[in-house]
């Protein structure tokens, strides 16, 4: 890697059999990384998906890929094993749409100011059962017991102390992020398993597509934690050695290469790598985000009309209208 000032942070997009989401949202991550030399972009593919591999090769995106599907936790373990020399790590799921690239250095600055080694980020509505809050550098941070794996930040030092994601969950191809987060609390590296900078929740659009892995019929408790993960949490582990299982490879693209991917945004189109109906649906969802995030009535109305124009059958549009009528 070329030398970068102050620190090196890896922005890793975890994905599995969803190349369409990379085409939609990866250009914005590429642009954020090209604009900040401290950031490097990587895609970690869980399983053998040739379409995703071709996409990353075509657009010169560094790609780590495994032979078997083992879930997002093992996908992250592979990244830490193959690239152990970064100072900070961001793991972002492929359905997260980036709006503001400053979200990355802000998390690093807050970690340095607060000595919190693990932050999470997800939709504000999912910040539940959070009774504690602190303020660092003018930003309010919520601390709670449960959350999402959509966007996670870790310091390298924190990961060295708590280890990797537990290999138990490879058999389910899902879960494990909550147990991993609890280790940061036990090690004294975070005030809670999930620490969320509240004013950054609008820096991304949080999409909820159908899950790649079909739901397992495992019992879950009132906190939506399945029995195997709850049992591990109750064991109060502090460290789990970093482990990988199936063979994996790297496409060899150097970090700093996705300039051409970032450049696709220069013409002003938000979704330059998709077209037709797929682009209209992306635009409709984006307009709905504008509707939700705006406080000005004229802008909200314009955004709602634009969302309906792009995709009249958008199920989120119908839900939004029902909520609006209900409030009325």
Q: What percentage of the chain reaches a pLDDT higher than 70?
A: 96
- pLDDT exceeds cutoff 90 at 256: no
Q: What is the mean pLDDT of residues 31-46?
A: 96
Is residue 48 in a domain?
A: yes
Question: Among 81-90, 121-130, 163-172, which stretch is predicted with the lowest mean pLDDT?
Answer: 121-130
- pLDDT exceeds cutoff 70 at 327: no
Quick check: 137 and 183 in contact, CB under 8 A? no
**CA 180 – CA 71 distance, rounded (Å):** 14
Residues 154 and 284 in one domain: no
Residues 143 and 49 in one domain: yes
Number of Cβ within 10 Å of residue 230's Cβ equals 16
Is residue 43 in a domain?
A: yes
- pLDDT exceeds cutoff 50 at 1: no
pLDDT of amino acid 74: 96
Q: How many domains does the chain have?
A: 2
pLDDT of amino acid 166: 96
pLDDT of amino acid 328: 45
Q: What is the CATH number of the domain that holds 125?
A: 3.90.550.10
Residues 120 and 162 in one domain: yes
- The confidence band for 217, taking pLDDT boundaries of 50, 70 and 90, is low
pLDDT of amino acid 214: 65
Is residue 3 in a domain?
A: no
Give 263-312 pLDDT, tens digit per residue. Answer: 999 999 999 999 999 999 999 999 999 998 888 999 999 999 999 999 99
- pLDDT exceeds cutoff 70 at 216: no
- Mean residue pLDDT of the chain comes to 92
- The confidence band for 2, taking pLDDT boundaries of 50, 70 and 90, is very low
Residues 245 and 279 in one domain: no
Residues 226 and 103 in one domain: yes
- Pick 171 or 185 by higher pLDDT: 185
pLDDT of amino acid 215: 58
- Quick one: three-class SS letters along the chain? CCCCCCCCEEEEEEECCCHHHHHHHHHHHHHHHHHCCCEEEEEEECCCCHHHHHHHHHCCCCEEEECCCCCHHHHHHHHHHHCCCCCEEEEEECCEEECCCCHHHHHHHHHHHHCCCEEEECCHHHCCCCCEEEEECCEEEEEECCCCCCEEEEEHHHHHHHECCCHHHHHCCCCCHHHHHHHHHHCCCCCCCEEEEHHHHHHEEECCCCCCCCCCCCCECCCCCEHHHHHHHHCCCCCECCCCCCCEEECCCCCCCCHHHHHCCCCCCCCCCCCHHHHHHHHHHHHHHHHHHCCCHHHHHHHHHHHHHHCCCCHHHHHHHHHHHHHC
Give 105-144 pLDDT, tens digit per residue. Answer: 999 999 999 999 999 999 888 887 788 999 999 999 999 9
| Tokens linked to 39 | 């950031």
Is residue 285 in a domain?
A: yes
Q: What is the mean pLDDT of residues 8-31?
A: 96
pLDDT of amino acid 8: 96
- pLDDT exceeds cutoff 70 at 83: yes
Give 218-242 pLDDT, tens digit per residue. Answer: 777 777 888 899 999 999 999 999 9
Residues 288 and 144 in one domain: no
Domain enclosing residue 60, as ranges? 9-250
Question: Among 22-31, 104-113, 180-189, 252-261, which stretch is predicted with the lowest mean pLDDT?
Answer: 252-261
- pLDDT exceeds cutoff 90 at 257: no
Residues 306 and 223 in one domain: no
Q: What is the mean pLDDT of residues 196-204?
A: 94
Choose among 106, 78, 69, 75: nearest CA to 92. Answer: 75
Is residue 261 in a domain?
A: no
Quick check: 65 and 248 in contact, CB under 8 A? yes
Residues 283 and 151 in one domain: no
């Amino acid at each position: 890697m070329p030398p970068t000032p102050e620190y090196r942070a890896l922005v890793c997009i975890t994905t599995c059999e969803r190349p369409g989401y990379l085409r939609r949202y990866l250009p914005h991550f590429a642009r954020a990384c090209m604009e900040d030399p401290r950031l490097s972009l990587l895609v970690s593919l869980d399983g053998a998906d040739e379409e995703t591999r071709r996409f990353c090769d075509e657009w010169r995106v560094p790609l780590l890929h495994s032979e078997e599907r083992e879930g997002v936790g093992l996908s992250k373990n592979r990244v830490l094993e193959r690239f152990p020399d970064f100072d900070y790590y961001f793991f972002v799921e492929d359905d997260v749409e980036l709006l503001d690239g400053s979200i990355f250095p802000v998390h690093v600055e807050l970690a340095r100011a607060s000595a919190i080694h693990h932050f999470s980020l997800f939709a504000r509505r999912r910040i539940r059962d959070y009774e504690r809050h602190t303020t660092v550098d003018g930003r309010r941070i919520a601390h709670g017991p449960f959350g999402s794996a959509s966007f996670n930040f870790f310091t390298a030092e924190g990961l060295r102390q708590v280890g990797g994601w537990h290999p138990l969950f490879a058999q389910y191809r899902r879960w494990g992020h909550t147990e991993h987060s609890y280790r940061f609390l036990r090690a004294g590296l975070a005030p809670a398993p999930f620490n969320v900078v509240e004013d950054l929740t609008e820096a991304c659009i949080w999409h909820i597509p159908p899950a790649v892995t079909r739901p397992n019929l495992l019992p879950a408790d009132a906190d939506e934690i399945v029995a195997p993960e709850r049992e591990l949490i109750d064991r109060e582990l502090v460290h789990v050695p970093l482990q990988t299982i199936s063979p994996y490879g790297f496409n060899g693209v150097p970090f700093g290469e996705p300039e051409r991917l970032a450049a696709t945004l220069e013409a002003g189109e938000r979704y330059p790598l998709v077209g037709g109906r797929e682009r209209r649906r992306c635009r409709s969802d984006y307009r709905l985000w504008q509707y939700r995030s705006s406080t000005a009535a004229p802008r909200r109305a314009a955004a709602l009309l634009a969302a309906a124009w792009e995709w009249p059958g958008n199920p989120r549009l119908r839900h939004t209208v029902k909520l609006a009528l209900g409030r009325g």
